[in-house]
Amino acid sequence: MLQPVFPTRLRGRAVWRGLLGLLLLALLLAGAWLWRDYQGWTQAPLAGPPAAATLEVARGSGYAQIIAQLHQAGVPAASARERLYWRLLGRELGVANRLHAGEYALTPGLSPRALLQRMAAGQVVQHHFTIVDGWTFRQLRV
């Protein structure tokens, strides 16, 4: 009985193609998992301060400084994954260079996406005060 003879070269190519296909499939699955994890992170409420807190962004603060301030305010932003996700979100929304200075409320249930959109729109905390009728500016300053 005759057995089909495959040249060793053809078998070697088939093995390499199979390994390359498995590698590409693994990379595709890893990329899909990372994208899904990133999308879930952008929509999930910020983990961090349980009560309402505020974030004061000074004029001229860069995006990396703002993320560091978020971390100081209790929002997780220290791990490599979180820093990468914050950078990706800033680029995705196109707001990394358009964030306004001011005081922002970090309310429970606020997502990273919603926070950056607020900061890009300049939706700062509004403080109210009353000027008593008849007071001068000097009396008001005291």
Domain that holds residue 112: 45-121
Q: Are residues 51 and 103 in the same domain?
A: yes
Whether 114 maps to a domain, the answer reads yes
pLDDT score of 7 more than 90: no
3-state secondary structure 52-101: CEEEEECCCCCHHHHHHHHHHCCCCCCCHHHHHHHHHHHHHHCCCCCCCC
For residue 3, pLDDT over 80 is answered with no
pLDDT at 109: 86
With respect to residue 137, please indicate whether it lies within any of the assigned structural domains: no
pLDDT at residue 49, rounded to an integer: 66
The enclosing domain of 105 has a CATH number of 3.30.1490.480
Residue 16 included in any domain? yes
Query: What is the number of other CB atoms lying within 10 angstroms of the CB of residue 73?
Result: 17
Each residue's pLDDT tens digit, 61-110? 899 999 998 888 888 877 888 889 999 999 999 998 889 999 998 888 88
Number of domains in the chain: 2
pTM: 0.74
Q: What is the pLDDT of residue 101?
A: 93
- Top-ranked range on mean pLDDT: pick from 10-14, 106-110, 121-125, 135-139: 121-125
**Domain identity same for 21 and 57:** no
Task: Please tell me the number of Cα atoms within 13 Å of 133 on its side-chain side.
Answer: 0
Residue 12 has pLDDT above 80, yes or no: no
In this structure, is residue 138 part of a structural domain?
no
Report how far residue 140's alpha carbon sits from residue 21's, in angstroms, rounded to the nearest whole number: 74
